[in-house]
């Protein structure tokens, strides 16, 4: 299977349409296959069904928080290959520590720089093949 033929799959879990639209634009431009769910309750069934390479996960979501979703992903052995990049509008050090403690692979504060998001996604996707070369 040629790596160039396989697009990394990203699932965006984000309830704010304006942010989701910006992410859709960026992910399309960067060549990722991607989809979106707009509330926390829909996230885990979709993640289990689609097995994305990366979940771009908002912390503040309707119904189920990003922290709970992060924890659920990490507790499911079938999903151990899924990378989690958490996003929050309140990028405090405490929130970052909590997300990383629950198993997130990265953390990005909103509003984020597109360059920063692009680099984080690249780092996580590259981590699939082998860590440290980024």
pLDDT tens track for 70-121:
999 999 999 999 999 999 877 678 888 888 899 999 999 888 888 899 999 9
The SS3 of residue 11 is strand
21 φ, ψ to 5°? -65, -45
Q: pLDDT (tens digit, 9 = 90+) per residue, 17-38?
A: 999 999 999 999 999 999 999 9
Helical H segments across 76-113, by residue range: 93-101
Location of structure tokens 């994305």: 52
Res 47: pLDDT: 98
Q: What residues form DSSP beta bridges with 9?
A: 33
DSSP state of 7: P
Whether 129 shows a pLDDT value over 80: the answer reads: no
pTM comes to 0.88
Q: Say if residue 128's pLDDT is above 70.
A: no
Token pair for residue 38? 């707009």
């Amino acid at each position: 299977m040629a790596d160039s033929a396989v697009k990394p799959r990203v699932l965006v879990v984000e309830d704010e349409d304006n942010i989701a639209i910006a992410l859709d634009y960026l992910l399309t431009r960067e060549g990722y296959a991607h989809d979106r769910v707009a509330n926390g309750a829909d996230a885990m069934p979709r993640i289990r069904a689609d097995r994305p390479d990366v979940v771009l996960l908002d912390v503040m979501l309707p119904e189920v928080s990003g922290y709970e979703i992060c924890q659920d992903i990490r507790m499911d052995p079938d999903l151990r290959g899924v990378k989690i990049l958490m996003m929050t509008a309140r990028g405090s050090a405490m929130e970052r520590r909590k997300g990383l403690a629950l198993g997130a692979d990265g953390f990005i504060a909103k509003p984020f720089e597109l360059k920063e998001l692009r680099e984080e996604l690249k780092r996580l996707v590259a981590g699939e093949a082998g860590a440290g070369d980024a």
